[in-house]
């Protein structure tokens, strides 16, 4: 389904890039197409003045901890690149990461502390849906921009949308509509769902079930596991007894790593396919190549063949000595958009930043266009579908099956519950 509310196409996007109208990564300074082997870039242009402070709220502890650190790594590289180019408006950038432990109350307190005590100019981050909603509420009340980097719940750009918040991560609905046809085509249309007992798990389950229904498929069973589960034996045995064509894992972080490890030890894919709404290098890397399996939605992959992706990859390798994951990408790209908005607006005032972000077309490190819709502040972007590979496949663990244009799978304005 094409979103008829916008006429942005890949052709107009490339024309826009050629004319120099985007410049989303104008402060990136590494050489294109060459993997970095030196230390991170040092600044020949030391920025002066009061720093621009960005508070980053992520679940540094808990089941999302590894992915969270990758989010922070990506944002840190974006900060370093900006400072190496003289800062923003001649001011240095400071990133202040804090832990929300995937808890809404902690996230709320952290947001208040960052704004009132640390005097941050904007907020970025969040994985857990409940935590993201809590931070969004505080940002609105306190008049600060909040760029949601990693949470996927539909409410953020739907029923709970707020004027000061923008969502960089694709919605659960869009991710599900991208990946579901490939799971059905490869494995079949009778699915068993394994869901985390969180807003994230419910969001993914609802979206994947809806996408399956659109394809004429059927749910043959489901089970719920606790957030932070380490033993998935009984849940996967329940899935096997239902004899589905595929088991859909609506879990993430270390929960997903542990479930895939158990599925591998049980030889589950001898009987059925496996997959889900979202995975990535941050999941595949702890598993190792042989244990990783299934078909998944991906927000980015290191094999994306664009110059801006190469700049990003070089920056992460130079600083952290590892190929970036999709969570590194989200942190890097989300902070980049905040900093570029400040540069364009020439201020950190929230109303000016909202105005410059609404409808903004930019280079999102992907082949197709990226833009923030003015009417719900959702980032519309390419979504990749990948099949986990049993050995190293160039850069990464996934064979890219398709790059799905975001405006082909996102909702239309007349379907939205957002009222800004």
Taking only the tens place, the pLDDT of each residue in 105-155 is 999 999 999 999 999 999 999 999 999 999 999 999 999 999 999 999 999
Instruction: Classify residue 406: in a domain, yes or no.
Output: no
Instruction: Classify residue 387: in a domain, yes or no.
Output: no
Distance CA 303, CA 213 (A): 31
Instruction: Classify residue 404: in a domain, yes or no.
Output: no
Q: Which residue, of 254, 280, 298, is where some domain finishes?
A: 298
Q: Are residues 122 and 17 in the same domain?
A: yes
Q: Which residue, of 283, 298, 313, is where some domain finishes?
A: 298
Q: Are residues 159 and 228 in the same domain?
A: no
Q: What is the pLDDT of residue 393?
A: 64
Is 314 a residue whose pLDDT tops 60?
yes
Q: Are residues 199 and 98 in the same domain?
A: no
Range of the domain at 189: 173-298
Give the CA dihedral 97, 356, 129, 234, nearest 10 degrees: -90
| Average pLDDT estimate for 306-334 | 96
Q: Are residues 58 and 34 in the same domain?
A: yes
Specify the number of domains making up the chain: 2
Q: Are residues 330 and 282 in the same domain?
A: no
Is 54 a residue whose pLDDT tops 70?
yes
Candidate from 21-25, 151-155, 256-260, 402-406 with smallest mean pLDDT: 21-25
Average pLDDT score over the chain: 90
Instruction: Classify residue 259: in a domain, yes or no.
Output: yes
Instruction: Classify residue 389: in a domain, yes or no.
Output: no
Q: Are residues 149 and 202 in the same domain?
A: no
Is 79 a residue whose pLDDT tops 80?
yes
Q: Are residues 259 and 129 in the same domain?
A: no
| Residue 259, domain CATH | 3.40.50.2300
**pLDDT, tens digit, for every residue of 155-194?**
999 999 999 999 999 999 999 999 999 999 999 999 999 9
Instruction: Classify residue 62: in a domain, yes or no.
Output: yes
């Amino acid at each position: 389904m094409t979103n008829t509310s916008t006429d942005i196409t890949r052709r107009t996007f490339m024309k826009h890039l050629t004319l120099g109208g985007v410049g989303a990564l104008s402060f990136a300074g590494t050489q294109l197409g060459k993997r970095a082997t030196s230390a991170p870039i040092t600044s020949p242009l030391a920025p002066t003045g009061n720093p621009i402070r960005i508070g980053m709220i992520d679940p540094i502890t808990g089941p999302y901890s590894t992915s969270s650190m990758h989010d922070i790594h990506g944002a840190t590289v974006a900060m370093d690149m900006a400072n190496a180019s003289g800062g923003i408006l001649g001011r240095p950038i400071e990133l202040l990461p804090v832990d929300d432990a995937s808890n809404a109350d902690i996230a709320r307190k952290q947001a208040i502390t960052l704004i009132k005590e640390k005097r941050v100019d904007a907020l970025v981050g969040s994985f857990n849906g409940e935590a993201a909603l809590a931070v969004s509420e505080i940002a609105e009340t306190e008049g600060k921009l909040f760029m949601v980097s990693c949470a996927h719940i539909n409410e953020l750009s739907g029923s709970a949308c707020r004027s000061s918040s923008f969502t960089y991560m694709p919605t659960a609905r869009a991710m599900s509509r991208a990946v579901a046809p490939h799971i059905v085509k490869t494995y079949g249309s009778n699915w068993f769902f394994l869901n985390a007992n969180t807003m994230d798990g419910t969001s993914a389950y609802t979206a994947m079930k809806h996408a399956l229904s659109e394809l004429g498929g059927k749910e043959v069973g489901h089970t719920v596991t606790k957030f932070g589960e380490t033993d998935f034996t009984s849940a996967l045995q329940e899935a096997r007894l239902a004899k589905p064509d595929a088991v859909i894992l609506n879990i993430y972080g270390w929960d997903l790593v542990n479930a895939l490890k158990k599925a591998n030890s049980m030889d589950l894919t001898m009987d059925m396919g496996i997959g889900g709404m979202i995975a990535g290098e941050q999941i595949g890397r702890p598993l190792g190549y042989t244990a990783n399996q299934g078909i998944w939605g991906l927000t980015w992959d290191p094999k994306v063949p664009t110059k801006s992706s190469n700049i990003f990859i070089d920056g992460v390798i130079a600083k952290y000595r590892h190929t970036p994951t999709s969570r590194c990408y989200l942190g890097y790209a989300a902070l980049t958009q905040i900093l570029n908005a400040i540069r364009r607006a020439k201020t950190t005032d929230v109303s000016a930043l909202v105005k410059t972000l609404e409808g903004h077309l930019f280079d999102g490190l992907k082949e197709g266009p990226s833009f923030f819709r003015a009417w719900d502040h959702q980032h519309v972007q390419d979504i990749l579908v990948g099949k986990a590979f049993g050995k190293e496949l160039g850069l990464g663990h996934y064979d890219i099956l398709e790059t799905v244009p975001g405006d082909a799978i996102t909702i239309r304005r007349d379907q939205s519950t957002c009222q800004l």
